[in-house]
Structure 1
């Protein structure tokens, strides 16, 4: 079919003209998206959207083609894909901003906790550091600090943790730690 025939069939509502266009230009249009960092599914979606745009303009009778249908479809696909890439880029940048915010937030929380741990005294500082940062077992902590047994280490850890919690609560509000 020639372009004028296709347009006439679309204007008269013959949907097989759309099937014809889909099959005829499928490879060319999907290749455009795939070769520009798109997946096959994204390529199909873009091409289908482009065909809908073309169909709506052609069916309205207001479409005046100054080029071949393939060129017109190609430009629609290209524009739709550029918009999709822009959207993805914005989303990616927003995610990066969120990650940066979370990292800064974590650093600030760690700074607050470390500052309070430093105020606890050497034994508590060592117990909490061994347990939470170095992931040592209670047995290892008891051995390193020359405690009588693991129960002594557990009791001391509990008391140190409680003191740390109280210190943090008196110095900082809950909003410093909650989102």
Structure 2
């Protein structure tokens, strides 16, 4: 199904589109969350937050998705769940202290995080194919020896230098983008 059809259906509150999104993606999202310290209720909460986030964002600005909707929505849910896990990690458990967390503030932070990821992926697709391969392996936490084996480079030293140069090129491209300043943490 067309990505724009999903987005427009969400904005209009089309129950058929929402059911279709639920049918095609919820099981994967639920499985991911259960496999990562969550439960079915957490999956439902994250799913709803992700739908809400997309609707708010689509109403606020033109939402351009350069991949299929399912993959994009799964990534949004994954990012929301990781943020949720990080929040629980940072909280001090004290029954005498009650934390008030603004739902809109959480949604805003999640949207910013998603925009950062989109900018990163966009700029990653601009650098050379060789740099993409090297950085992809590097981000997968492959050892330099493994990267040497998968590329035409002769030594780990050369790969280290290439990783450094590719990361610098990617960082420079990101920082040159007009959206960068609005997405950095304050």
Taking structure 2 as the reference length, the TM-score comes to 0.44
* Larger helix share, 1 or 2: 1
Q: Whose relative contact order is higher, 1 or 2, with alpha carbons under 8 Å and at least 6 apart?
A: 2
